[in-house]
Copies of this chain bind each other. A is one copy, B any other.
């Protein structure tokens, strides 16, 4: 049976996880694969309403995302998780439980994050107005051995997506675009 994989994007708020997730989703769908994006903020609405941002609540949220990712992955779906997921242990737990798993560190310097600050959150966090703000007033544990690192302060989103796709192909989780294209149409029933 077709097998899926979970691409787990971890990184600070504003680093570009959702943008990369959307672009990656488009490219994988173009190749005829089944894809679901589990975006941290959206999943909180559906699975974790009422949970806050304590370590315990964050972990619970991540475990729920991992549970759903596991169900989808073992049914042939490419799952793209875009969630800060600040704690190393909890990410490792997700990897263990899901198996077919690519950890991507979406890295961006704090300087650049403060410069972008689309929602004005970093400014507020730096003024001490937001407690539990990851990277400022709450910890972010960088992956020690991520499968992929993309540095969004020096790469375009398209470059980051290309890097992730190359890693997915190298690991055998998806076919290369060239292979997929040889018979003219996406091969939906092939191993992912």
Q: Does A147 contact B (CB under 8 A)?
A: no
Query: A100: CB under 8 A from chain B?
Result: no
Residue A89 interfacial (CB < 8 Å): no
Query: For the complex, is A158 an interface residue (Cβ under 8 Å from B)?
Result: no
Q: Is A171 an interface residue (CB 8 A)?
A: no
Additional A-B contact list (18), CB under 8 Å, known A46-B64, A189-B189: A1-B34, A1-B188, A34-B75, A36-B71, A36-B75, A46-B63, A46-B67, A47-B47, A47-B64, A49-B60, A68-B68, A68-B71, A71-B72, A72-B72, A72-B75, A75-B77, A76-B76, A188-B189
Q: What would 16 A/B residue contacts be, using CB atoms closer than 8 Å?
A: A1-B34, A1-B188, A34-B76, A36-B71, A36-B75, A46-B63, A47-B64, A47-B67, A49-B60, A68-B68, A68-B71, A72-B72, A72-B75, A75-B76, A76-B76, A189-B189
